[in-house]
Amino acid sequence: MHEITLRTSDRRQMVDITSEVQELIASRGIGTGSVLLFVPHTTAGITVNENWDADVRHDILWALEQMVPESAVYRHSEGNSRAHIQSLLTGHSLTLPITEGKVCLGRWQGIFCCEYDGPRRRRVLVQMHISSPDIVD
């Protein structure tokens, strides 16, 4: 299994890992298939969203904070329940199709590892599946 490692710099952050994913796919010469991205953390997540205007990422992180505010009265003594909940809303596993040697994203989409309790070192596990006659595309 491959992995992408990163170090976040902020408490809340969306880190664009699109080029790292594309490079892994290219390095293995995969034409058609799929890629499974998995975040083995409980206060981070993974998603696709707009990668053009940084204000979108700002608004996403701000809105998640309105939905799950730090100021709420949580039981968990470590004080990061907010981050656990935001990671549930985002999700930890993402499967994307690969065609013509590239992960198949929309024009405005990038792949983001979402940090909700940083700064920390984070890992994204990457498992690639190449096509075979068994994949009908």
- Which residues here bind its own copies, judged by CB under 8 A? 1-2, 28, 30, 32, 34, 36, 38-42, 47-50, 53, 55-56, 58-60, 62-64, 66-68, 72, 74-78, 81, 84-85, 87-97, 99, 104-109, 125, 127-132, 134-137
**Max CA pair span of the chain:** 54
As a whole number of angstroms, the distance between CA 31 and CA 5 comes to 24
Closest separation between CB of residue 9 and its own copies, Å? 20
Closest separation between CB of residue 119 and its own copies, Å? 18
Closest separation between CB of residue 67 and its own copies, Å? 6
Strand partners, 48: 111
Distances from the Cα of 30 to the Cαs of 104, 109, 110, in angstroms?
12, 21, 19
- The residue among 53 and 119 lying less far from its own copies, judged by its C-beta, is 53
- The residue among 7 and 108 lying less far from its own copies, judged by its C-beta, is 108
In eight-state DSSP terms, residue 92 is S
The residue assigned the tokens 């596993």 is 93
